[in-house]
Amino acid sequence: MSRPTLPLSHLILAIAAVAVWGTNFVVIKWGLADFPPLTFAALRFTFAVLPAIFFLKRPAVPWWNLAAYGVLIGVGQFGMLYIAMTQWISPGLASLVIQVQAFFTIGLAMLLAGERLRTFQLMALALAAAGLGWLMAHTGAEVTPLGLGLVLVAALAWSGGNTAARMAQPESMLAYVVWASVFSAPPLFALALIAEGWPAMSHAVVNAGPGAWAAVLWQSVGNTIFGYTAWGWLLARHPTATVAPLALLVPVFGMGASAVLLGEPLTAWKLTAAGLVLGGLALNTLWPRIAARRAAAA
């Protein structure tokens, strides 16, 4: 039975999942010190598949849907994100910018399902756009126009993956992610061969230290297996409006971890941009819940 509030143990689980997702941007930066970006992404999805696929039944969804999700999330989201984070955007800002996927998801829903943009969504989009504009006005070492563009492409691909998953409505999101990852690793390896070359790929794999491999496993096991399982488990037991707002903490953990572990400065302009983007995300996520409560109380 769903509850309007989360029990303490469920809240701790949700925060743990969000913390893993947020701090993962720092882990990505660490991994990129040893692996070329596309090779790193390919390894991440290889270990998301193996050995989990041998223990999870294939979800009853079309193969084309699994392939679409796998390519969009693997190549589109993480491939572009990893490339951007090599030198064109800092981990903290990447964790913030990619959250605009929520607005791209709304746009796809309007395009594919004929949904109409509501007033609060327009206001939320304006706030987030102002935040991105403020980032553009302060491009430099921590964020470049190319880095911002690549992360926006990653966010668009993530929203496409969300749309594919929504169309599939799998019983087990974990099984869906694992089986879809079968279609993520091969194109990533192919692109790595073309863009990075076999010598660079093999040298990285042979010479990577324990920390680099721990970064791969953190993303495969922690970010994918634990994160998606925990989030799906919570969504199956509570209203989406109760669980979803906690995802707003992802960039908070991302920017905080980047500041503590990587020394990424939290300047006034960066906090202003974060406030605008997070304000837009919060308005988009929380307003329907507030409006429903007002209607119920009237």
Q: Is the CB of residue 108 less than 8 Å from the CB of residue 163?
A: yes
More confident residue, 56 or 140: 56
**Residue 64: predicted pLDDT:** 96
Mean pLDDT of 55-84: 94
pLDDT of 10 above 60: yes
Confidence band, pLDDT 50/70/90 cuts, at residue 2 = very low
Q: Count of CB atoms within 10 A of residue 267's CB?
A: 11
Confidence band, pLDDT 50/70/90 cuts, at residue 4 = low
The mean pLDDT of the chain is 86
Distance CA 217, CA 223 (A): 9
Supply the pTM of this predicted model. 0.84
Kindly list the distances between the CA atom of residue 140 and the CA atoms of 264, 268, 275, in Å, as whole numbers in the listed order. 13, 15, 20
Distance CA 53, CA 30 (A): 27
Burial (CB < 10 A; 0-12, 13-18, 19+), residue 233, is middle
Mean pLDDT of 28-40: 95
pLDDT of 278 above 70: yes
Confidence band, pLDDT 50/70/90 cuts, at residue 241 = low
**Residue 39: predicted pLDDT:** 97
Task: Report CA 205 to chain centroid distance, whole Å.
Answer: 25
User: 245 CB contacts (<8 Å, ≥6 apart)?
Assistant: 282, 285, 286, 289
Span 152-182, pLDDT tens digits? 999 999 888 888 888 888 888 889 989 999 9
pLDDT of 253 above 60: yes
Q: Count of CB atoms within 10 A of residue 255's CB?
A: 25
Mean pLDDT of 55-71: 94
**Residue 198: predicted pLDDT:** 95
**Residue 141: predicted pLDDT:** 64
Residues 38-67 as b or e (16 or more Cβ within 10 Å = b) = bbbbbbbbbbbbeebeeeeeebebeeebbb
User: 125 CB contacts (<8 Å, ≥6 apart)?
Assistant: 103, 106, 117, 280, 284
pLDDT of 238 above 50: yes
pLDDT of 38 above 90: yes
Mean pLDDT of 274-279: 84
Least confident stretch, 33-47, 129-143, 202-216: 129-143
Mean pLDDT of 235-249: 71
Q: Is the CB of residue 91 less than 8 Å from the CB of residue 29?
A: yes
The alpha carbons of the chain give a radius of gyration, in whole angstroms, of: 19
More confident residue, 111 or 22: 22
